[in-house]
Chains A and B, each alone.
Chain A
Amino acid sequence: MITLNKETIAIKREQDVVFFRNRVNEYAEKIKMGLVNKTKLLTAASELVRNMLIYAKEGKVICEIVTISALQTGIRLTFIDNGPGIADIDKAMTDGYTTGKSLGLGLPGAKRLVNIFDVKTVKGKGTTISITKWKNG
């Protein structure tokens, strides 16, 4: 996978979420991503950035435009935090499971909305979640 464009956005408070979403929107428009795919990507990003704010208080997101061939271009977002980590990742990926007060749809829902979903978490050290959405797919 080749990275064409890269930017890091710090997430420290709720208002940063709006700025972050707008930036992702701009990236999606730059590669002419369709409306439905763009909406899915933005929704998944919104879920993950909320998790970051709730459980880790702050973190950062790396936005990249990636390509694997002349045909496939997409956006990869990597959410990095130094929060408490996820104790039971299998449970966390199940619909309806939450340790907070939410509906428990964030992680499994976000996974359904994107093409590639990758979680790395170490308890007590932090969580890194990477999602990729292709322009057509």
Chain B
Amino acid sequence: MDKIPILKMGDYLLVTIQVDLYDRLALNLESDLVNMINKHSSKGVLIDISAVNIVDSFMGRILGNIAQMSKILDAHTVVVGMQPAVAITLIELGLPLSGVHTALNVEKGMTLLQEKLFLDSTVIADDTDDNT
């Protein structure tokens, strides 16, 4: 069966979607990702959709689900590389993808994740300062 590979890189998980998605594949990706976050205690997930030609309401819902699921598992999700035509279509379809962080490319997405992680660690550091 087809499978979308998930790569572990330090605290992050990288997913590059290079194939035409059908619903089952997207659902499997969702559960695989959540399991991987749990297994590796990942702090961030980067999903590259630059090779994806269409994102319809189902795929959009999966992206939103992944972002929310990883959030409650204490990981941030960034979706990168969306094609302009896909962005136009998503908005006309009525799917604003709220709650999903986006960045233009993998590099910017990685920076965003690192900033978020850094922000989290400083907040925790501040908390411990208050306690002492």
Which A residues are closer than 8 A to B by beta carbons?
14-15, 17-18, 21-22, 25, 35-36, 38-40, 42-43, 46-47, 50, 95, 102-103, 105-106, 108-110, 112-113
Contacts and interface: CB of A to CB of B under 8 A. Distances in A.
B94 A36 contact: no
B93 interface: yes
Contacts of B72: none
Contacts of B86: 39
A102 B89 contact: no
Given A50-B56, A109-B95, A36 B89 contact: yes
Given A14-B23, A17-B22, A39-B88, A102 B56 contact: no
A102 B23 CA distance: 12
Contacts, number: 70
Interface residues of B, number: 22
Interface in B14-70: 20, 22-24, 53-58, 60-61
24 contacts: A14-B23, A17-B23, A18-B20, A25-B53, A36-B84, A36-B88, A36-B89, A39-B89, A40-B85, A40-B88, A43-B54, A43-B93, A46-B54, A50-B58, A102-B57, A102-B61, A105-B57, A105-B93, A105-B94, A106-B57, A109-B92, A109-B93, A110-B93, A112-B92
Interface of B: 20, 22-24, 53-58, 60-61, 83-86, 88-89, 92-95
A50 B23 contact: yes
Given A39-B86, A43-B55, A50-B58, A103 B23 contact: no
B93 A42 contact: no
B56 A47 contact: yes
Interface centre among B22, B24, B83 (most CB of A within 10 A): B22
Contact of B95 (A15, A25, A46, A103): A103
B56 A103 contact: no
Contacts of A103: 57, 60-61, 95
Contact of B57 (A17, A18, A38, A109): A109
Contacts of B83: 39
Nearest to A46: B56
Contacts of B60: 103
Contact of B85 (A22, A36, A105): A36
A46 B89 CA distance: 12
Nearest to B23: A14
Nearest to B57: A105
Nearest to B24: A14
